Amino acid sequence: MQGTVLKILASRDEWLILSDDRQSIHGQFQIVTDLHYIFTVIILYQTALQNKPQLYLIAAMSENHVIGINNRLPWHLPDEWANFRRVTHGKAFITGSKSYTAPDALHSTYRNIVLTKHPTEQADSGVEYATDLDQALSLLREENEVFVLGGASVFVQTLPLADKLFLTIVHAHIDGDAVFPAISLADWELVSSNYHGSDDDHAYSFSMNVYERKGNGSDQASDGQPIL
């Protein structure tokens, strides 16, 4: 087996060479003397390539599924906002360009992947542009957890891929122009719910719900009931 050469990953400029002669080969060549080591490295690289972060959607919607109006949130709910910040703290975000530039947008202090067909040459620090969802997910493949922050167009695209929904239900019917997609109860299990009443600072009561995808959920809302 001496001299066996394996190009282990097309995108890496690195070769593993099985050889006892460590003197004569340099550069991007890594000399190994143990075939088992090569197989271990290949498996590790394959695992890294297949790494897929957990994808979480986080949103607040009214009982009629409204999430926004005129590119803003239709409510001011400080304790809901605080929960939003706490849950997403330090995580990477995927955000549509409209929501990212909204006046009340929440930005990640860690990584912001902004979906847009029109990336500007000079991104702000902490911002990476993606021109489609695949690119966004590829940029984030090393992360463990990624939050999708909306807006409506991005929630529609990512709901079928989501593992968990952090979905606050604002107990009111609100007018708006952006909505959260229908969700099939057959696909999602409510795992926690935290009710907050209305008060001087909160015009509406709301429930901060967390849903986990059931084992074989498919998000075919048409063949199940919507959540609310």
Contact set with ligand NAP (CB under 6 A): 59-60, 67-68, 71-73, 96-99, 102, 115-118, 131-133, 149-154, 157, 178
Query: Which is nearer to ligand NAP, 30 or 153 (by Cβ)?
Result: 153
Smallest separation, CB 169 to ligand NAP (Å):
11
Closest to 17 measured CA to CA, from 26, 34, 5, 1: 5
Query: Which is nearer to ligand NAP, 149 or 165 (by Cβ)?
Result: 149
Q: What is the CB-side half-sphere exposure of residue 188 using CA atoms within 13 A? A: 29
Query: Which is nearer to ligand NAP, 16 or 105 (by Cβ)?
Result: 105
Smallest separation, CB 112 to ligand NAP (Å):
13
User: Please, what is the Cα angle at 149 between 143 and 153, to 5 degrees?
Assistant: 115
Percentage helix, strand, coil for the chain under 3-state DSSP, each rounded to 5: 20, 35, 45
Query: Which is nearer to ligand NAP, 30 or 135 (by Cβ)?
Result: 135
Smallest separation, CB 225 to ligand NAP (Å):
22
Task: Decide if 139 contacts 171 (C-beta within 8 A).
Answer: no
Tokens for 138? 């590829």
**Which alpha helices (H) appear in 143-195, and where do they start and end?**
152-158
Smallest separation, CB 52 to ligand NAP (Å):
18
Question: How many helices, marked H, and strands, marked E, lie in the chain?
Answer: 5, 13
Smallest separation, CB 151 to ligand NAP (Å):
2
Query: Which is nearer to ligand NAP, 60 or 162 (by Cβ)?
Result: 60
